[in-house]
Structure 1
Amino acid sequence: MKTFKFSLFLGIILLFTSCKNELKTTDFTLKGFVFGTTYKITYLNGTQNFQKPIDSLFRLVNKSLSTYIPTSDISKINNGDTTIVVDEMFAEVFKKSKRIYNETDGFFDPTVGNLVNAWGFGPKNEKIDLTNEQVSNQMQFVGLHKVELQNHKIVKENPKIYLDFNSIAKGYGIDVIARFFNSKGIANYLIEIGGEIRAKGTKKNNNPWLIKLVNPTENTNGYKTLNLSNKSMATSGNYRKFRISEDGKKYVHTINPKTGFAIESNLLSASVIANLDCADVDAYATAFMAMGLEKTKAFIVKNNSIKVILIYLNEDGNLEEFTNYTYN
């Protein structure tokens, strides 16, 4: 009789535990504003709304890496504070930047910050039309090889060197959220911040995550459809973010770290698609815009695992495409 009672009691416990573990799941879409742009995050079969922890993660990224926040670590470092002990986020982004700086022969260079500001595309909004002499003077502060990370502190050859990770931090922010989802067992998601994307798994009914590439002309319709399941994508372009000086010259936001100038080329946009962190493809996209069409083609020949869609104007002013990406 005691054995029967014990078995019945155990069965009730197991039934209760089983019901408790079968939590209801639903699909979530979160939207908002971060890093100076909008975001949209979709994840499937979630058991809770992760808005609050995601907001907290965004705040941590900003606190570490945003040049638009005066109290961030990078702002303090740029203002000459040599006592800042950087966090793991800063250290990871710095190390990635160093690697891609070397891989791209310096065409990805976060030390162009002073020139970004001077040409009018940074938080200082200076909008100076620099002379050749002024550009030459600023170039002495350009070169990521002049900056090191030692004992969790940034060491510069010259205190005037200005770090600007905005061309990689947005992608990194996406990676931070992706890692959070992975830790929570979320198998299907798409994270988009300002056009940079990282996707995992599939949408409903095992359909792939499909997006439309933006057409870099006045026509705002989608250019082509891309399958981004289990991939990251970033696009850099000068067709939207530019300014016209008083004398009619057009200056683009991509600064060539080799010359210091912000001059438009025939390459309108560079989209990078790869099974890599979004921070990586974000940085490559920036580097390719600085490289220009021919140098990027040569880079891709040697690094064919990185897929690109380069949209440019030919000699007749017509839109053309170079790609090693297979549309599907």
Structure 2
Amino acid sequence: MKYTFLPLIVLLLFSCSPNRPEIFKNQNTGGALGTSYTLTYLSDQPLDFQKEIDSVFDAVNRSLSTYIPNSDISKINRGDSTLVVDAMFRDVFGLSKEIYQKTDGYFDPTVGVLVDAWGFGPGEQMELDSVRIDSLLDFVGFDKVTLEDQNTIEKSHPDIHFDFNAIAKGYTIDRLALMMDHKNIQNYLLEVGGEVVAKGSNTIKEKQWVVGIEDPQMGETRKPKILITLKDRALASSGNYRKFRTDSITGNKYVHTIDPKTGFTKNANTLGVTTLANTCAKADAYATALMAMDLDAAIKLLMGQRELEAYIVYLDEKGEPQEFMTEGFKQLITE
């Protein structure tokens, strides 16, 4: 599954145009969720929502962070079956179940034991072979967990560990967007670790918001591969080209995308996936699932639904870079 990695997205903002009523570009930047954020919101007066922004991050961490020992998810992972989960946990659990089913299990937040075993989580890294991985797969499967009527979590085995990192970042941006909506902000562009929610437009420049999708083959050189306009939509990306671990003894490279079907890391020909959806949590989760799938299965899923647009960069049989885009995504490309 997908975990914190450097952004695939380069945000493009604009300066003021002359002869216009003054519009203020309010911006908060910082670090949270193991990554960085840039939150831009436009208004007719200077504003600073830092206190509210920090509260959103804190609330999500208390519920969903596996890196905080006393968070709800950490307590549940340690075996607390009496804890009553909050609304955020219920939201993420419900959406995860939905996407787990729609992706035939390729999005699976119970992959936590494998994330730790491969060295990408807070738990103990293990020496892995096919036998050990097969035994760990007994503790993977979202159909093995249930949200009870009392809002407690039932697991079929105590060693099942949740890891919502492949959806929690997107969900956090949705919560930040909801906060902006409650503040009656009509135009904003919110980015956390490369995931984006855009509302309205860039009224300073009288243009739509524009984001650049980074070329996954440029390594540490950050250069947009394409630019797209974004309005009243969410965007999330997943890729293997930066987040990986190299074994110090064997030199083997292990990417952070884990196939929940096999338990192995997914060294596939898909380099990066960008998805658009009505919420960032949904875009985030589907980007992860599409990375875990074989390319043909990912394209088949995209062609069989209407709620997502997507862009995939992959290598063909000759090792040459190729692209796949849904028709709706193509219409958003701009210069």
| TM-score, normalised via structure 2 length | 0.88
**2: CA distance, partners of 1:25 / 1:312:** 41
Aligned to 1:67: 66
Counterpart Cα distance in 2 of 1:44 and 1:252: 38
Is 1:186 matched up with 2:185?
yes
Alignment correspondent of 2:286:
284
Displacement of 1:313 in angstroms is 1.0
Cα distance between partner residues in 2 of 1:295 and 1:78: 31
Secondary structure at the aligned position of 2:110 is classed as helix
CA distance in 2, matches of 1:305, 1:109: 20
Matched-pair contact (CA < 8 Å) for 1:190–1:199: yes
Question: Using CA pairs below 8 Å that are at least 6 residues apart, which structure has the higher relative contact order?
Answer: 2
Q: Which residue of 2 aligns with 1:19?
A: none
What is the CA deviation profile of residues 265-291 of structure 1, one whole-angstrom value per residue up to 9, with x for unaligned ones?
0001111013x1100000000000111
Instruction: Indicate if the aligned counterparts of 1:109 and 1:144 stay in contact, CA closer than 8 A.
Output: yes
1:64–1:89 contact (8 Å) kept in structure 2: yes
Secondary structure of the 2:205 match is helix
Q: Which of 124, 141, 153 matches 2:139?
A: 141
> Contact 2:266–2:292 at 8 Å: present in 1 too?
no
Alpha-carbon deviation of 1:25?
Answer: 6.9
Deviation at 1:222, TM superposition (A): 1.1
Superposed CA offset, 1:223-263 (max 9, x none) = 11011121110000111111122223221111101111013
| Match of residue 27 from structure 2 | 29
2:5 is aligned to none
Structure 2 residue runs without a partner (length 5+) = 1-21
Q: Which runs of 5+ in 1 are unaligned?
A: 1-23
Match of 1:226 in 2: 228
Query: What amino acid does structure 2 have at the position aligned with 1:39?
Result: Y
Asked if structure 2 preserves the Cα contact closer than 8 Å seen for 1:28 and 1:46, the reply is no
Higher percent of residues as helix: 1
CA distance in structure 2 between the partners assigned to 1:210 and 1:273 by the alignment: 14
- The number of residue pairs the alignment matches comes to 303
C-alpha deviation, 1:202, in angstroms: 0.5
**4+ long deviations beyond 6 Å:** none
- Further displaced range: 71-80 or 314-323: 314-323
Q: Which amino acid aligns with 1:85?
A: V
Return the alpha-carbon distance in structure 2 between the equivalents of residues 25 and 227 of structure 1: 21
Alignment of 1:102-251 (within 5 A): 102-124=101-123, 126-150=124-148, 151-203=150-202, 204-217=204-217, 218=219, 219-245=221-247, 246-251=249-254
Asked whether the equivalents of residues 46 and 186 of structure 1 are also in contact (C-alpha less than 8 Å), the reply is: no
Deviates more, 1:36-45 or 1:313-322: 313-322
Distance 1:261 1:70 in 2: 27
Residue 46 (structure 1) shift? 5.9
Deviations 1:167-209 (A, max 9, x none): 0000000000100111111000011000000000001233111
Q: Counterparts in 2 of 1:1-16, with a 5 A limit?
A: none
